[in-house]
């Protein structure tokens, strides 16, 4: 992709109204002069912890710690890389971007991808019109009607019918699309025998898949009668990657952000659930549920419910999800369906209440896996129960939360018929992961739990970011090495690197960890009175230097204890002199601080 003109990136960021943008995803209420609060669109919460600062054009959630400027919000909420987020925002704002320094062929590749998307959109319109009008689609219309999908549903989801042979290819060629564009999007293929184009999908019901920008990028196609695979799907193309696209996610993302994702197996299941009011439903595009799908869902919610058919394929898909969700911080549950029925069947036979009941019965993925494991094991002898404990521990050992593991130990011990202590002891041989979940709350409530030196470092950075000119002389009195975390050092270096830029611009170059801290310190920050600022700067930066000196003094003392003054008197004297100097500086600063505190 060509590089977007950097001046345009800055201009667009300043032009875009961050409050107006975010209000499209969550309701914001004014909470101060230039701050707004609302429920976080990235995780489920009952008490608003999501804050938008219109003056600095930044956002920060004090619950999930996400934060940044308008571009980073678009990247998170729309699941887009940075260049595409800039282009998305430019389209929304009606802003023309300039591109520069294209590598050879980049413009042609970009243009070809755009034409493939146009061809997919046109194909979706062609298929939909065919479903609604041509006699050959009558069987498809009857099938969809039997599934409970009437004309209105077909229109909402742009369901279609692929007539066959080369009908679509001829239509696209007449619309000005080239063979390269048609075959590149896998809408048509070239016959090895005749060398002519023929349609990829023939005599099938079509289900268009949209990307998060709202463009059709591929299709699933279902056979209604005759021989052949039940479903065919678009192959990998420059605009369609099965591992990074989920059917229905473009419609479901807002509902998922407010609640949880419901993952089902088929296109008709997604449609049936949405039409029944379950707006969180998504499905994969003809591939097994993989880690990249979980990563995509994690961008919108911290929980996903797998609702698969109660057959071997469904259980296998569920088990494939086990073990990977903990690595990305997504809680995964399983909602088993009645035997022989899929979500669409449940909706048709029992209505929305039936499917809500299934969702309400969702169990943890680990609990589901444990049930499956125990059901396969004999438990009639001491030796069998011992073997069962070993099998169960292999499952329990994958769970990173020691509290959850402890609760599961008692549950499985009762089912196996052994003492919980025996299971706990066997589990002790496994090394569980570390729970990375962070607690919510406000910046102030977390500050009260932080060590003293961390509080001081954070406040020093906050003063530097809020009052760069006034704080600059004090900032020059310390170095980045005196800060005790990589994120704080990164922010210090960004804030002191030349002329201080706007907060939104500084945010663009930070790592994710530093960005979260940066927005936490700047969004909705309490402004200090000018008459107190000089005194506050002197106190905070003095305390920061004292903490740094205390660490150096401790280090010198430890080193000095290891040096024998008889064997190496010169090194001992040098270290002792340094230690005396450090302690003298610390005493002077403490006296100075007592005079201003």
DSSP 68-120: E-HHHHHHHHHT--HHHHHHHHHHHHT----EE-PPTTHHHHHHHHHHHHHHH
The whole-number average pLDDT for the span 360-382 is 82
SS3 breakdown of the chain: % helix, strand, coil, rounded to 5? 55, 10, 35
Average the pLDDT over each of 120-124, 256-260, 438-442 and give the range with the smallest value: 438-442
How would you classify residue 309: left for phi > 0, otherwise alpha for psi between -120 and 50, otherwise beta? beta
The whole-number average pLDDT for the span 385-412 is 77
What is the rounded distance in angstroms from the CA atom of residue 132 to the CA atom of residue 153?
12
Nearest to 156 by CA among 207, 118, 203, 117: 207
Q: Give the tokens for residue 193.
A: 């025998």
The gap from C-alpha 15 to its chain's centroid, in whole angstroms, comes to 26
The whole-number average pLDDT for the span 322-334 is 68
The percent of residues in the chain predicted with pLDDT above 70, rounded, is 88
Q: Give the tokens for residue 202.
A: 């023939």
Give the model's confidence band at 143: pLDDT under 50 very low, under 70 low, under 90 confident, else very high.
Answer: very high
What is the rounded distance in angstroms from the CA atom of residue 147 to the CA atom of residue 143?
6
> Do the domain assignments include residue 235?
yes
> Do the domain assignments include residue 24?
yes
Q: Which of 240, 265, 297 is the last residue of a domain?
A: 240
The residues near 69 (Cβ < 8 Å, ≥ 6 apart) are 13, 18, 57, 58, 59, 504, 505, 507, 508
Residue 150, helix vs strand vs coil: coil
The DSSP string of 48-66 is: --EEEETTTTEEEETTT--
The verdict on 347 and 382 lying in the same domain is: no
Indicate the DSSP class of residue 310: S
CA angle, 306 then 310 then 315, to 5°: 60
The gap from C-alpha 595 to its chain's centroid, in whole angstroms, comes to 49
Does position 112 have pLDDT exceeding 60, yes or no? yes
pLDDT, position 401: 65
> Do the domain assignments include residue 370?
no
Average the pLDDT over each of 181-195, 418-432, 561-575 and give the range with the smallest value: 418-432
pLDDT, position 369: 78
> Do the domain assignments include residue 63?
yes
The 3-class SS string of 315-382 reads: HHHHHHHCCCHHHHCCEEEECCCCCCCCHHHHHHHHHHHHHHHHHHCCEEHHHHHHHHHHHCCCCCCH
CATH number at residue 267: 3.40.1360.10
Residue 32, CA distances (Å) to 26, 53, 58, 533 in order:
18, 9, 15, 21
Contact 228, 219 (CB under 8 A): no
What is the rounded distance in angstroms from the CA atom of residue 440 to the CA atom of residue 252?
25
Does position 440 have pLDDT exceeding 70, yes or no? no
CATH number at residue 35: 3.90.580.10
Structural domain including 11 reads 3-100
The verdict on 202 and 341 lying in the same domain is: no
Average the pLDDT over each of 296-305, 400-409, 523-532 and give the range with the smallest value: 523-532
Residue 122, helix vs strand vs coil: helix
Q: Which ranges of 478-529 does DSSP label H, i.e. alpha helix?
A: 486-496, 503-508, 512-522
The verdict on 396 and 518 lying in the same domain is: no
Give the model's confidence band at 128: pLDDT under 50 very low, under 70 low, under 90 confident, else very high.
Answer: very high
Does position 445 have pLDDT exceeding 80, yes or no? no
Indicate the DSSP class of residue 160: E
> Do the domain assignments include residue 22?
yes
Residue 124, CA distances (Å) to 118, 159, 166, 171, 172 in order:
10, 8, 15, 12, 11
Q: Which of 194, 210, 240 is the last residue of a domain?
A: 240
The residues near 160 (Cβ < 8 Å, ≥ 6 apart) are 124, 126, 127, 128, 129, 130, 131, 205, 206, 208
The percent of residues in the chain predicted with pLDDT above 90, rounded, is 27
Q: Which of 100, 121, 138 is the last residue of a domain?
A: 100
> Do the domain assignments include residue 434?
no
Of 489 and 168, the structure prediction assigns the larger pLDDT to: 168
The verdict on 414 and 347 lying in the same domain is: no
The verdict on 192 and 275 lying in the same domain is: no
pLDDT, tens digit, 9 for 90 and up, residues 540-557: 888 888 888 888 888 888
The verdict on 308 and 395 lying in the same domain is: no
The whole-number average pLDDT for the span 69-83 is 88
What is the rounded distance in angstroms from the CA atom of residue 485 to the CA atom of residue 507?
18
pLDDT, position 330: 78
The verdict on 222 and 255 lying in the same domain is: no
CATH number at residue 187: 3.90.980.10
The residues near 506 (Cβ < 8 Å, ≥ 6 apart) are 465, 494, 495, 500, 518
> Do the domain assignments include residue 437?
no
The verdict on 130 and 199 lying in the same domain is: yes
The verdict on 197 and 211 lying in the same domain is: yes
CA angle, 355 then 323 then 235, to 5°: 70
The mean pLDDT value of the chain amounts to: 83
Give the phi and the psi of residue 134 in degrees, each rounded to 5.
-85, 145
The residues near 234 (Cβ < 8 Å, ≥ 6 apart) are 185, 186, 200, 209, 217, 218, 219, 220, 240, 285
pLDDT, tens digit, 9 for 90 and up, residues 246-272: 999 989 988 888 889 999 988 999 999
The residues near 278 (Cβ < 8 Å, ≥ 6 apart) are 262, 352, 355, 356, 359
CATH number at residue 546: 1.10.860
The verdict on 23 and 64 lying in the same domain is: yes
Per the DSSP assignment, residues forming a β-bridge with 232 are 221
Of 431 and 419, the structure prediction assigns the larger pLDDT to: 419
The verdict on 557 and 512 lying in the same domain is: yes
Nearest to 40 by CA among 73, 3, 16: 73
The verdict on 95 and 131 lying in the same domain is: no
Dmax (CA) for the chain in angstroms is: 104
Long-range contacts of 193-197 (CB under 8 A, 24+ apart): 196/166, 197/166, 197/169, 197/173
> Do the domain assignments include residue 433?
no
Residue with tokens 């008709």: 268
Count of structural domains within the chain: 5
């Amino acid at each position: 992709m060509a590089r977007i003109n950097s001046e345009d990136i800055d201009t667009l960021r300043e032009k875009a109204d961050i409050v107006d943008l975010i209000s499209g995803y969550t309701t914001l209420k004014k909470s101060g002069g230039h701050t707004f609060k609302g429920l976080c669109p990235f995780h489920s919460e009952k008490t608003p912890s999501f804050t938008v600062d219109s003056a600095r054009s930044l956002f920060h959630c004090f619950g999930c710690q996400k934060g940044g400027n308008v571009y980073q919000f678009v990247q998170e909420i729309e699941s887009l890389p940075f260049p595409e987020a800039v282009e998305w925002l430019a389209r929304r704002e009606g802003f023309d971007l300039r591109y520069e320094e294209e590598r050879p062929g980049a413009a042609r590749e970009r243009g070809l991808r755009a034409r493939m998307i146009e061809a997919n959109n046109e194909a979706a319109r062609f298929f939909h019109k065919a479903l609604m009008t041509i006699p050959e689609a009558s069987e498809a219309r009857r099938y969809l009607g039997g599934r409970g999908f009437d004309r209105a549903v077909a229109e909402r989801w742009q369901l279609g019918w692929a007539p066959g042979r080369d009908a679509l290819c001829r239509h696209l060629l007449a619309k000005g699309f080239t063979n390269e564009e048609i075959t590149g999007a896998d809408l048509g293929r070239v016959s090895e025998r005749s060398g002519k184009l023929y349609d990829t999908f023939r005599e099938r019901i079509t289900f268009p898949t949209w990307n998060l920008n709202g463009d059709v990028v591929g299709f699933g196609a279902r056979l209604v009668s005759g021989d052949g695979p039940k479903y065919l799907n678009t192959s990998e193309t420059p605009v369609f990657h099965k591992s990074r696209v989920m059917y229905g996610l473009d419609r479901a993302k807002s509902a998922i952000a407010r609640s949880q994702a419901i993952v089902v197996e088929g296109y008709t299941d997604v449609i049936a659930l949405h039409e029944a009011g379950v707006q969180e439903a998504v499905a994969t595009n003809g591939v097994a549920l993989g880690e990249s799908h979980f990563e995509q869902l994690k961008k919108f919610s911290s929980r996903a419910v797998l609702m698969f058919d109660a057959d071997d394929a469904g259980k296998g898909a569920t088990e494939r999800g086990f073990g990977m969700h903990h690595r990305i911080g997504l809680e995964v549950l399983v909602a088993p369906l009645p035997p022989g029925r899929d979500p669409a069947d449940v909706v048709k036979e029992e209505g929305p209440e039936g499917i809500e009941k299934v969702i309400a019965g969702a169990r943890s993925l680990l609990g589901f896996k444990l049930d499956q494991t125990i059901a396969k094991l004999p438990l009639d002898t001491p030796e069998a129960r011992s073997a069962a404990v070993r099998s169960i521990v292999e499952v329990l050992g994958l769970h990173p939360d020691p509290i959850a593991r402890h609760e599961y130990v008692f549950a499985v011990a009762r089912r196996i018929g052994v003492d919980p202590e025996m299971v706990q002891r066997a589990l002790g041989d496994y090394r569980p992961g570390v729970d990375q979940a962070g607690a919510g709350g406000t910046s102030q409530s977390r500050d009260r739990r932080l060590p003293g030196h961390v509080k001081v470092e954070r406040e020093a950075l906050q003063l530097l970011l809020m009052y760069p000119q006034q704080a600059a002389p004090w900032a020059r009195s310390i170095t980045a090495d005196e800060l005790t975390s990589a994120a704080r050092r990164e922010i210090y270096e960004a804030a002191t690197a030349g002329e201080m830029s706007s907060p939104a611009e500084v945010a663009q170059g930070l790592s994710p960890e530093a960005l979260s801290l940066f927005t936490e310190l700047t969004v909705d920050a309490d402004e200090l009175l000018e008459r107190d600022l000089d005194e506050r700067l002197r106190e905070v930066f003095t305390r920061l230097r004292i903490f740094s000196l205390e660490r150096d003094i401790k280090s010198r003392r430890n080193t000095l204890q290891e040096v024998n003054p008889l064997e190496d008197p010169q090194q001992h004297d040098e270290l002792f002199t340094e230690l005396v100097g450090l302690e003298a500086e610390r005493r002077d600063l403490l006296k100075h601080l007592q005079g201003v505190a």
